[in-house]
Structure 1
Amino acid sequence: MSLNQKQILIVGAGPQALFLLREYSRIGYLVTLVGRKNEIAMYSRYGTKLLVNTEHDLIPLLSKLALKKPLQNCLVASGFYLSFLMEYFPEFFTIFNVIPKNVEALSIFLNKLNTYQLAEEISCNYPKSILLSELTNDTDYSTFTFPQIVKWNQDIYLYEKPAFKTCLVKNVKDLKNLHQTLIDREKNALVMQEFLGADLQNNFSYGAYFRQGSLVAGICVNEVRHYRSGVSSAVQEYCGEFAKSIEEKSIQLIGETAYTGFLDVEFKIFNGEPYLLEVNPRPFGFIRIMKLKYPDLIPYTLGECTFNPKNPKQVQWMNILRDMLVVAKNPKKIPNMLSMLFNFSGRTFDVWDIRDLKPFFQQIKR
């Protein structure tokens, strides 16, 4: 290792971290990756790997690394790790130079209700919402229009899988039955929202990199196919009717903060208008589409180049393994999948990389 070689720490080892690991390594950085054994980036040929088995391992490991190299540059590539560190190790944000940056902004975006309060200030539509802990025997349930959807307002589980998953409640009886099954901690972290429809093709995202609340690079995408709710198998750049509004609201929303880092802002079209669903303040699952759109993405976000050329083609991203399962259940989608698959110059994959094959085969194994 050269004494002058730049170093960076990445916390979390999912597909987003794998992208960052490869990109930073290929521009000459010495990368250290912290993750669990089963996370996909731990199988890459790049970087030095540090294994954690439980959340209890994470804090002493990071503390030790900070003593060796104070204020080291650090990327957090997982929403779960980010939530855990915010809650249980706030010193992390002072002993490392952390991206995503700005704790105040993170405290807003890691909580849906806080995000909606900010959206209110810029006149951005969002679903009417209430914490389950606020529902009591005195609640007037006639004020709710059913069905309603119940989802996490913020992450409270890291290494253990939560018993609750997002669900649709069709009436007051369903809601009360659900309410009785939950512990107080869960009721304080679950939110009920007006249901904006089941058509996932009305879901759009604005993926971007911001620096102190100002846009550096961004792309609007349509989530054209889903492996399951909240997990896309294929997305494509969106330039249609709502693209300008989605971009403007995203820039305006993040501009209310001093946020620095990658993020994606999720919207759903409802009654002919974009509604904000949530902001994910971390590198997003389809992040490689940004590299396809902006070939010099990482050097540009680092300030190591002054020009950020933009691919003029409409770009696409797919998780080929998930997408094969999706089209197997719905053969009508095969033509679109094949069109995307053979779009060699305008399509990218999430894990596949000819120069780093092991993560892809590990994904197949899993």
Structure 2
Amino acid sequence: MSWGIVLERCTTGRATPVRPLTATSWRVAPSPGRRRTSGTPGSSPPCSANEIARYVGRLLNAGYGRQCLDTALPQFNVPNVQGVMPGQLYTADQQCQHIYGPQSRYCHGGNFGNLDGICTSMFCLVPGNRRRIFCVEYHAAHGTTCANGKWCEEGACVANANAPNIPQGNCPFGDQLTLVNRRRCPQAVAARPALCYNQRVRTICCATCAQNAQANSNANRAACPFGDRVRRCNQQSCHRLLPDGTPYARDCCGTCNFDATQWTCADAPNGVDGAPCRAAVQADQVQGCYNSTLAFSCCASCQEQRTPQGREGCEYGDRDLTPEFCQRLSNSSQPCTQQQRDQCCRTCGAKENDNQGIIQRSSAISTLTLQWPIQLCLWLIAVCNICRLWTCV
């Protein structure tokens, strides 16, 4: 009662009524604010008895005060909450709304701390500030859930058989107030659902991401809970293999209804158009495994042809359309044209690397050739200076 009525020290010489939940510090996201330095919920402040007596005395001397203390209230249909802990009757958001109105809510996560510190550090949002999140620290009500099977008693988070259980990974207080891409969680996730694949976003937007996963009607929801991981997916490309050897459908799991955990790089049992994969790859001389659809259906056969550490666009070596065409290019001293590079990427790449090595060696020899006369001149100058010095002596 003393904490609810008075929080002024004896040294101030006056008593001031305050809200039932006493603000102990403030905090602005993301910079930490002042922390509480004294005072424990449940203990009486210094000289509280004298302060209460003075305060009640002033109420009795005032007309409105005597009316409040002496006149009984009319009968109301007030529910019997005897035996119910206040923290279980009112959520953390509701406790903050009792202080700052319906737009307020409990600030948690990040700079505002986690659930286990709510007993002495329950930050409440101060509405009306559009530029930044401004929260003030209060003590949570007795019985406020602070951990699995624990609630607040006298400012401490203690175990109690009546305290509710919180399943691991649950989201008891909803989304955090931290902005994602300068937006609140519902707006940010609605604009790009794939954000929920990010662990940090899932922590900040735990409620919104959970709602999106639950609303996902995809049959492959377990492996693709938030839909496509990238934008602009199309079903026509679902049976393609990307240049790095991964299936296109992996990042477009929602559009393609694809489960990456069930996919293995193997040849299709029936091959392609009735032909075994090895024969189909050899028959397609123009593209071969560069045909992304063929590479997907004949993944194992194409994997055998993949060039180790091949650059992008040359994963499967030369596209040798005519016999010995690329071989003739390797024996030629002329540089490859763009068309030749597209057709014989491996041969032209090796040739260009050899030429580059020759250029570097020639450059090194030229540098050395130019440097040794200079070094000789400097040496002769030094010798002449020494001879002149001896002559003077």
Question: What's the TM-score once normalised by structure 2's chain length?
Answer: 0.19
Query: Higher RCO, 1 or 2 (CA under 8 Å, sep at least 6)?
Result: 1
Identify, as 1 or 2, the structure richer in helix. 2
TM-score normalised by the chain length of structure 1: 0.20
Structure with the bigger percentage of strand: 1
